[in-house]
Amino acid sequence: MKLWAILATLAMGAAWSWNASAQERVLDTEQGRIRVEDFAQGLSHPWSLAFLPDGRALVTERLGRLRLVGADGVLSEPLAGVPEVFARGQGGLLDVALSPDFAESRMVYLSFAEPGEGGAGTAVARGRLGEGRLEEMQVVFRMRPKVDGPNHFGSRLAFAPDGRLFVTLGERFKFEPAQDVSNHLGTIVRIEPDGGVPPDNPFVGRAGALPEIWSYGHRNVQGAAIHPETGALWTHEFGPRGGDELNIPQPGRNYGWPLVSWGRHYGGTSIPDPPTRPDLAPSIHHWTPAISPSGMAFYTATAIPGWRGNLLIGGLGSEALVRLTLDGERVTGEERMPMDARIRDVRQGPDGAVYLLTDADDGKILRLTAAR
């Protein structure tokens, strides 16, 4: 093993300490010590988490299950009424989000890989949360077209302050269609809660373009969050071999994939760097080597004081929680906290704790709090 790798391994190992009596892990970070606890266990590849007003949460499992998680971490049986999913490769039941008026409507939104003619594509459905089931389930958006293959479905859901819904979509590992606005592959779409098209979407009325599209030229967007102060959508996406990106998608802009990238193709073939195409929208931050980002949350609570105002990102291949400090739209610093697990999603809980989902057959929900 190379010296740098040995030193990195030792450093990551030294960051952890164990309290054997309490069975808790404590991580030394730049902003103090963080306690990491197993909040819930027994999940198969959990993908997303959404907290309910009563302190419980909904959690999706990629194989097609939706469960309730009690405030004590106890899991319910799978809820009925979930749509059929294409549970192959990266496909399955993906994101879950509550309608902004959930307290009155009880509406829950799910994104998922939907099987159908031609293969599969990302879809969004909504239903009313009842006792042990989702009722009145209705699909409000379908990616066009459905294509073959098990990769790059996206998909995150983010409600903007105006109530419109952003849906992030992968390019299904098909490359060139991400540059074609006559299909949904490799785009971010913006829809009304019922699936309608907002009249101010950038491609409304343009011949040959799908009116749901907000931005295009994306590869596989698995992180989306609304900035708590500006209300703008922030996203991150996987690069190929390197070149993961953090973006603030602007209406109608082209984000370059597969014309440019900070990474390289998996076979080693080079791709032009983004500055060679100033006509394409740039990222605000990128990672090479890749962190394999999935899940994202702005931290607005005070329970972990040093993290307030920071952007938290889950790392799959990096097996880390990545914390970014910001100055407006500029990234000013980065800390990678080893979690020894693939992190699929990041959420801030109503108690101010940070909750992480681990992507594994025996997946967990981890709870992070400040260690006293």
Q: In what order do the strands lie in the sheet with 221-226?
A: 221-226, 233-237, 244-247, 285-287
Instruction: Tell me if 112 sits within 8 A of 133, measured CB to CB.
Output: no
Instruction: Quote the tokens at residue 279.
Output: 């006509």
Of 152, 184, 218, 286, the active-site residue reads: 152
Instruction: State how far the Cα of 352 lies from the Cα of 85, in Å rounded to an integer.
Output: 33
Instruction: State how far the Cα of 358 lies from the Cα of 43, in Å rounded to an integer.
Output: 9
286 annotated active-site? no
Residue 89 class from Cβ within 10 Å (0-12 exposed, 13-18 middle, 19+ buried)? middle
- Helices and strands: H and E segment counts in the chain: 2, 25
Alpha-carbon torsion, ordered 55, 190, 288, 327, to 10 deg: -70
Instruction: Tell me if 141 sits within 8 A of 191, measured CB to CB.
Output: yes
Instruction: Tell me if 143 sits within 8 A of 185, measured CB to CB.
Output: yes
In the block, tokens 């009249």 appear at 199
Closest CA to 92 of 54, 70, 65, 128: 65
Closest CA to 320 of 348, 301, 292: 292
Enumerate the active-site residues: 152
